[in-house]
Structure 1
Amino acid sequence: MVAPMPTPFERARLPLGRRPAVRSTGRPPGRLRVPVERAIDHCRVFVGGRRLPGEFTPGSALAETSGRGEGFVWLGLQGPDEDQMQKIAAQFGIHELIVEDVVSAHQRPKVERYDDQLFIVVRSVTYADKETVSNTRQIIETGEVQMVLGPDFIITIRHGTVLPRLDLRLEEDPELCAMGPSAMVWAVADHLVEEYGRISTLLSEEVDRLEEEVFTPGSRFNIEQIYTLKREILEMRHAIAPLVPALRSLTTDNKDLLGKQLRSYFRDVMDNGSIAADQVAGFDERLSSLIDASVAKITLQQNSDMRTISAVVGMAAAPTLIAGIYGMNFDHMPELHWEYGYYVVLGVIVLIVGLLWWWFRRKNWL
């Protein structure tokens, strides 16, 4: 009789050496297996608030912390596929639902708890620092950083983004590093939210420039710039707006996993995220107003152009009418054989055109 497979929660409670591999969901036949090492950015061990020298493999890192009875592992991954993530999950005892989310990616910012593990998603935002909006069609680019937090490990998975050496930041504060793997979660979230604030400042300058162009009398502007920037700001807004509720859930619903001091750090990140989200929402509203003002200004300019065109057509209508009458070639027409008839007609044409020009000028049509 085959023994039943333990549930994910039971598997997570087992010692590392006794944890069975996570059951594979299958893969298409003939698909090439890529070694898990190809997806690993780094694997580091922290003990007593200090990082141990050198890089580790996931197995040796877990063995190191298990042998010491303290410390935690920080494993960094870049876009792992299903096979690679299944192997990592088997070593760390990660819940199978987390594995599915990691492989599928494209998640909204969120915090989910699975027994003693947390799955946290934070979106990254980068800004193409160009002189003008028209120089590029992709001003804002978003990525994704996923974090799997366990009692003695933190796994960061990045999709379309780059993370700096955040371990150096923790080494500068051994007391913070001693708080465990949750301190690394704070470092990642704090870094990404700081980028939100920096990008918001750059976007503010861009929106101010567009406002100045639109509201300057007689200025010529490209309304496509406004639409492009609004589209990019909407993308950023969708990326960062759900983060604040997620962080609030992290600090209020997981007090047993986060210390009091660390919760205060996360609240600071949440405040900065709220400020950035409010700024981006304000940019969106300002750009909507700019679009309305631009459309109104363009409509007024088109009306002015149409009046000028109508005035020119009206001035040309009188000479055309007179020339058309005298071009009908009847034998009996007034002044047809008069010696000075040609000059009189030209004088009448000039007089009528002059009167029309004066009248249109007075009405500000010219």
Structure 2
Amino acid sequence: MIEHHILSNGALCSVEGPPETLDGVLWVDLCNPTRWEERLIEERVGVAVPTLAEMVEIEDSSRLYIDGTAMVMTIVVIEGMDTGRPRRAQLTLVLLPHVLITVRYANPVPLRTIAARVARHPAESDSAPRLMATILEAFVERIADVLEQVSGELTAISDTVFFEEGKGPQEQDLKKLLQKLGRQNRALSILRESLLSLDRLLPFLRDATSGKAARTEGEVLPQLARLSAKGDKRLKAIERDLKSLSAYESQVEQELTFLHSATIGLIGVEQNKIIKVLSVATALFLPPTLVGTVYGMNFHNMPELDWRYGYPLALGVMVLSAGLPYLWFRRKKWL
């Protein structure tokens, strides 16, 4: 699907379908594009649109490069937090001097709310480079929101594990806690990758827009989009936010690692209790079993077979041999 967006009276107006001409078009969004739609946009702008296979490549040369007058940048984004199944997705931004093109095979939250964001500050998104900065800010804020969500989930798990009085590990359902920790770990992993991709994008974008992009000897640098002084300040602000978020993400990761180890430890404690009960039961029933085994032998010359009180005596010895170890265990507080 193709949508193109025009800034009109301070609002971002969306029109479904490809634009007839790029005049006045601020943003072209390709969501799950077909090959025909990709070729159509390529003909209109003269830039090759990356395919999904190209977008998922991890090397920087495939994610950040200049193609003619366009800067092609791919970042990792997170989606699915609202459904409890976080997953990574790729978003490619193709920045040309007068239009921004996005290619995506997902529907991340920041792009769903970008129109409202532009409406609040239309002057900050009245050109392709400024709109791209606005989109990057939205994704940074989304990372911060998800980090806060993960941190809140870990706090709830910590309260369950360490602060719920009167509940043993069995009642806390440690298996479900481990599943929750696994989901939060996946979310953190995606956020870490997203932060890394943004951290690599910003220097590339700043160098390219300032004319410092790397080039081969004799190559003429194309006329790329330029950021204003205010736009450069916005990129620096985003870089500062990324540094603080990276530090916060490391702190949350340490907390998750500790909670995972603590939960595994509690599972070990619970298993040890079960093994302890089984060991004590074995120790209690071993002497009576021995007595019963002795008197269960079918030898003819056994004096106790002719005793009138042999059977009650054997039962008494069994009870006594089990009772004495039981009292000993209680005295040692092993039970």
Shorter-chain TM-score range: 0.7 to 0.9
Letter in 1 for 2:6: V
The aligned counterpart of 2:112 is: 164
Which TM-score applies when normalising by structure 2? 0.79
The aligned counterpart of 1:247 is: 202
- What is the CA-CA distance between 1:85 and the residue it aligns to? 1.6
Identify if the C-alpha distance between structure 1 residues 232 and 173 changes in structure 2 by more than 3 Å, giving closer, same or farther.
closer
> Does structure 2 conserve the Cα–Cα contact (< 8 Å) formed by 1:190 and 1:269?
yes
Distance in 2 between the 1:52 and 1:285 partners? 41
Root-mean-square deviation (Å): 2.9
2:190 to 235, 250, 253: 235
The aligned counterpart of 1:318 is: 287
- What is the CA-CA distance between 1:198 and the residue it aligns to? 1.0
- Percent identical pairs in the alignment equals 23
> Does structure 2 conserve the Cα–Cα contact (< 8 Å) formed by 1:44 and 1:54?
yes
Alignment deviations for residues 44-69 of structure 1 (CA, whole Å, 9 cap, x no partner): 3348x85697849755443x44xxxx
Structure 1 gap segments, 5+ residues each: 1-38, 66-71, 131-135
Identify if the C-alpha distance between structure 1 residues 121 and 88 changes in structure 2 by more than 3 Å, giving closer, same or farther.
same
Distance in 1 between the 2:182 and 2:333 partners? 33
> Does structure 2 conserve the Cα–Cα contact (< 8 Å) formed by 1:85 and 1:103?
no
The aligned counterpart of 1:175 is: 123
Is 2:169 the counterpart of 1:219?
Answer: yes
Is 2:73 the counterpart of 1:120?
Answer: yes
- What is the CA-CA distance between 1:204 and the residue it aligns to? 0.6
The aligned counterpart of 1:193 is: 140
> Does structure 2 conserve the Cα–Cα contact (< 8 Å) formed by 1:40 and 1:75?
yes
Identify if the C-alpha distance between structure 1 residues 102 and 254 changes in structure 2 by more than 3 Å, giving closer, same or farther.
farther
The aligned counterpart of 1:18 is: none
> Does structure 1 conserve the Cα–Cα contact (< 8 Å) formed by 2:32 and 2:104?
yes
Is 2:94 the counterpart of 1:148?
Answer: yes
Which TM-score applies when normalising by structure 1? 0.73
Structure 2 gap segments, 5+ residues each: 212-225
- What is the CA-CA distance between 1:185 and the residue it aligns to? 0.3
1:300 to 250, 263, 269: 269
Distance in 2 between the 1:112 and 1:175 partners? 28
Is 2:5 the counterpart of 1:44?
Answer: yes
Give the 3-state SS of the residue equivalent to 1:241 in structure 2.
Answer: helix
The aligned counterpart of 1:265 is: 234
Distance in 1 between the 2:50 and 2:16 partners? 26
The aligned counterpart of 2:218 is: none
Give the 3-state SS of the residue equivalent to 1:345 in structure 2.
Answer: helix
Is 2:244 the counterpart of 1:275?
Answer: yes
Distance in 2 between the 1:225 and 1:355 partners? 46
